Amino acid sequence: MDIFPISLKLQQQRCLIVGGGHIAYRKAVLLVKAGAIIDVIAPEIQADLLKLIQQRQGQYFQEKFKATAELRHYRLVIAATDHAEINRLVFEVCEAANILVNSVDDPPHCRFMVPAIVDRSPLIISIASNGTSPVLSRQIRTQLEAIIPHGMGALAEFSGKWRNRVKEVIQNPDERRIFWENLYKSSLKEKVFNHQISEADVLIEQALVEWNTPKGEVYLVGAGPGDPELLTLKALRLMQQADVVIYDRLVSTPILELCRRDATKIYVGKARSNHAVPQEGINALLVQYAQEGKRVCRLKGGDPFIFGRGGEEIQELFDANVAFQVVPGITAASGCSAYAGIPLTHRDYAQSVRFLTGHLKEGSPELPWNELVYENQTLVLYMGLMGLEKICQKLIEHGQRSNMPVALISKGTTPEQKVVIGTLADIVTKVADSQIQAPTLTIIGEVVTLREQLKWQD
């Protein structure tokens, strides 16, 4: 994050604009809406800008900006001239005086940015790109304008009116957050949107009277193979309301950043022979936090019920009488194969697909090899990088042809995705030469030959 977003209270605060043209007027309008008093320094000034500053009891100084300008009584300064050297001078003087300064459309000479704004006062939504793409920020603002009801401002004002009362009744901040979240999902929101404030007052008072300490719950959420855009809507909603997030090694950083920012985040990832927290410890954490009344998101890469040990975890929750929900995710086999351009089934090549784990117990593969040697079938092996050589040997020993196509996909669906193509006979050597790294997925079958035509992601 290259910039720190803040919201400034500028009511009755004096601000300075250097420049008297149309751009200066646009900035002045925004500052006046925020309650600021505007002064302007410029050799010439537009009539509408002059009228605006006079209405706000501001001052117009008809002169060029000088390095000796006295700025210490201004909260912030905006340089809005057509002259780069003047804007730079304004920036330098403000920097020396530790005053926030913005040079319009000149990011190197800005200490703050003016964002694109969605105004649902008192609810204000700002979108900033650190000066890299103001047009993109405005486009995003346009999209938000279309989906955020104008009544949201009234809802924010209504919430502010009741905030202290709710705080008196519900003193625990975590419980208070749940109360408001539940309230916003109720019919109260529509009452406020339709200006039925007295009825909304009755609803919130009733909700306070009936309030009980909420019970904890666990959300077992599949995070998919890595691309955050593959999350389900329900997964995203639960991730953003959870108090605690317990996550695995295969959960990508962009997905983790979509969780509620102030949630407690606990890493319990497992790598080969290196478990940050043993499974029994994970189960205990889920029960512990839920029994404390927390909403716990157990975030797992892929799908929790496909080689994710999700069944074991919710058995533990069931035994402890803890409420839970399960949110399926796109499993690695589906996501990685699609992004690699390899269909798992195809009418001409494979009429069945089998999902297998490539983890080897005590160094020995424990798979039904005779059942796996079938021409029109696709084999998908999870976590098979370390055992790849033995897996290929066993398949050949049990009758599979050595030139059967194989694909190994590393970090599938992410920008670091890498695909190695070979056969049972040579894939181990090719993988070693490529220095490919886990997490990986292995696909064995004739469908691999279709990648050359279908590799859309490349």
242 class by beta-carbon count within 10 Å (0-12 exposed, 13-18 middle, 19+ buried): buried
Q: How far apart are CA 114 and CA 390, in angstroms?
A: 60
Asked whether 137 and 129 are in contact (CB, 8 A), the reply is: yes
Asked whether 384 and 425 are in contact (CB, 8 A), the reply is: no
Q: Is 440 helix (H, G, I), strand (E, B) or coil?
A: strand
Q: Bridge-partner residues for 325, per DSSP?
A: 219
Closest CA to 66 of 47, 44, 49, 86: 86
Q: Bridge-partner residues for 347, per DSSP?
A: none
Cis preceding linkage at 149, omega within 30: no
Q: How far apart are CA 69 and CA 454, in angstroms?
A: 65
Q: Between helices 388-397 and 427-434, what is the axis angle to 10°?
A: 170
Asked whether 398 and 408 are in contact (CB, 8 A), the reply is: no
Tell me if residue 248 is catalytic: yes
Helix (H) or strand (E) holding 136: helix 134-147
Closest CA to 133 of 110, 155, 105: 105
Q: Bridge-partner residues for 295, per DSSP?
A: 217
* 71 CA to centre of own chain: 40
Helix (H) or strand (E) holding 191: helix 188-193
Active-site annotation holder among 248, 303, 394, 411: 248
* Residue ranges of E strands in 276-351: 295-300, 323-327
Q: Bridge-partner residues for 118, per DSSP?
A: 125
* 306 CA to centre of own chain: 24
Backbone angles phi, psi at 298, to 5 degrees: -90, 100
Q: Is 103 helix (H, G, I), strand (E, B) or coil?
A: strand
Tokens of 175: 């419980």
Active-site annotation holder among 64, 265, 270, 390: 270
Phi-psi region of 435 (alpha: psi -120 to 50; beta: other; left: phi over 0): left
Beta-strand pair 217-222/244-247: unpaired
Which residues participate in catalysis according to the annotation? 248, 270
